[in-house]
Structure 1
Amino acid sequence: MPCRPLIATLTAVSALLAPALSQAQVTLKPDRQWRYLLTAGANISSGNNNAGTLNLAAEGARETDDDKWTWAAKADRARSSGVDTTERYGLRTQYNRDFSVDWFGFGSGELLRDRLANISSRTSVRSGVGRHVWQEERGFFDVSVGLGYTYDRYIRSTDIAGAMRDRYGRLELVLAEESSHKLTETTSLRQKFSLYPDLRDSGKYRAVLDTGLTVAMTQTLNLSAGLSYRYDSDPGTNLKKADTMFVTGVSLRFD
């Protein structure tokens, strides 16, 4: 199966990088209250290298004893020597509902614009079932499976699935695992890996890996950084299959 080497590689990368990263995460507590996290990062240089980056993110979460609703928004811009190197905007939300101690159902939606990847807009909706492999006060580990539909609009017509297209929709299988671990009173680790095999064009797939660590400086202030990895086996003409982003910043927690 073509995606097995990718899964093994990403698992190894996640294990190696997790201790070195610090990505803030919104507080999860089953008390029916909304909690928020705002993160900002920037880097500007001039002289021999004129470059600048700006990264903004916001998260929200509401959890009870039997359900959880989360959302997240991100904006990433980078420019070097007058050339755009990153321009990506995203918004996603997911709702989980337990129907037993170990099992839950989920529904999610996502919007993405990535100009340098030739994506004018990507709209995804997904639904399925998951299992709580373990969950306790210091963290959780979930696995899930389901079906989704993704519809892409491209900035420029490109060769996708053997034809020149300006848009492409497909049914996808959804395979995911996610975990959060409270390592100390001030340090928490989280990671999520999702795989989306294309059910319209056999052998094509997308993969997403996010991993990070929260280091709290005060009750509301966190130093943050994060690693994201995106892979598309058929991204289109003259585009690379993989995108990796490492971001540092400061987060404010509103609990």
Structure 2
Amino acid sequence: MNYFRPAVLSAVVLLAAQPALAEDKGVWSGEIEAGVAIKTGNTKSTDAQVKLRAGFSQEFWSHRLRLEALRQTESGDKTAESYLGQFQSNYTFSEHDYVFGVARGERDKFSGYDYQTSFALGYGRHLWVSELGTFDVEIGPGVRRSKLDTGEKETEVIGRLFADLKVNISSNAKFGQEVTVLTGSDNTEIESITALTTGLTDALALRLSFTVKHNTSVPADTKKTDTHTSASVVYQF
């Protein structure tokens, strides 16, 4: 898939750039999420979705992988289909500060874009870390390549802003809010994910989430904003 090549190549470069740390084998963690989603905007339907988030920490380095797929078929006709892949590497140089590189690729056939890929480098900071939760922010420049449904291709320099808030409501309930902004001269992408997760066991949880995706520039007859409301089961490892 040509639209994922920049993201894949960037991820390989990031992995190859890190030093070999033989004594520290690192720690894996992650979650697999599956459920149904109610979508409004360019499509109005009930969709099945699968999400994977995995992380690996080793000495000063940490890596995060995010994969998502959403699809629906009604009476043999495909009415919703989207895929997202993201890989990020962080290098921590102080207790609260780190630098990062992140590659992202997305395809949503009902967004007005055939694909959108981006790569960014920048600075991140842990603004708040306590037993009650965490709050991280990131900022940096990057480049984005997009292809509209009309066939028009765009390549532009962008700025990336990211904020991630996690709050421990109780011993088994957590609130999360992520906001990603990729802004350029041709288009600004905004993604907001709000989630409430309740633990059932050490490994299983229920999650309610609300996702908003907005593009400021889309082809004619295409809505700028899509929303996803979902209820899902989460397996944590």
TM-score bin (small chain) = 0.7 to 0.9
TM-score, L = length of structure 2: 0.79
- Counterpart residue number, 2:228: 245
Native 8 Å contact 2:106 2:117 kept in 1? yes
2:120 is matched with 126
Equivalents in 2 of 1:42, 1:173: separation in Å? 33
Change (3 A) 1:52 1:241: closer
Q: Matches of residues 1-20 of structure 1 in structure 2 within 5 Å?
A: none
Of 178, 181, 190 in structure 2, the residue corresponding to residue 192 of structure 1 is 178
Shift of 1:120: 2.4
Percentage of identical aligned residues: 23
For residue 234 of structure 1, the aligned residue among 214, 217, 230 is 217
Given that 1:40 and 1:56 are in contact with CA atoms closer than 8 Å, whether structure 2 keeps it comes out as yes
Contact 1:210 1:227 in 2 (8 A): yes
Q: Which residue of 1 aligns with 2:167?
A: 181
Q: What does residue 30 of structure 2 align with? A: 36
Question: Secondary structure of 2:27's match?
Answer: coil
Which string of whole-angstrom CA distances, capped at 9 and with x for unpartnered residues, describes residues 127-174 of structure 1? 1002221113442111221011111123433xxxxxxx2x11111111
User: Which moved further from structure 2: 81-90 or 56-65?
Assistant: 81-90
Structure 1 unaligned spans of 5+: 1-30, 44-50, 158-164
Counterpart residue type for residue 109 of structure 1: A
What SS does structure 2 have at the residue aligned with 1:208? strand
Name the residue aligned to 2:140.
146
Residue 218 of structure 1: which of 191, 196, 201 is its match?
Answer: 201
One-letter identity of the residue aligned with 2:141: L
Corresponding residue of 1:160: none
1:111 deviates by 1.2
> Matched residue pairs, number?
207
Alpha-carbon distance in structure 2 between the residues aligned to 1:150 and 1:181? 32
Check if 1:57 corresponds to 2:61.
no
> C-alpha offsets along residues 98-142 of structure 1, whole Å, 9 cap, x if unaligned?
212232111101111111123322211111002221113442111
The 3-state SS of whatever aligns with 1:219 is: coil
Provide the C-alpha distance between the structure 2 equivalents of 1:42 and 1:231, rounded to a whole number of angstroms: 21
Cα contact 1:55–1:76 (8 A) shared by 2: yes
Separation in 2, partners of 1:61, 1:235: 33
> Is the contact between residue 152 and residue 169 of structure 1 (CA under 8 Å) also seen in structure 2?
yes
**CA–CA distance in 2 between the matches of 1:181 and 1:111?**
28
**TM-score of the two chains, using structure 1 as the length reference:** 0.73
Instruction: Flag structure 2 segments of 5+ consecutive residues without an equivalent.
Output: 1-24, 38-44
2:18 aligned partner: none
> Alpha carbon RMSD of aligned pairs, Å?
2.3
User: Structure 2 vs 1, CA of residues 141 and 64 (structure 1 numbering), >3 Å: closer, same or farther?
Assistant: farther
Q: Per-residue deviation at 1:34?
A: 0.8
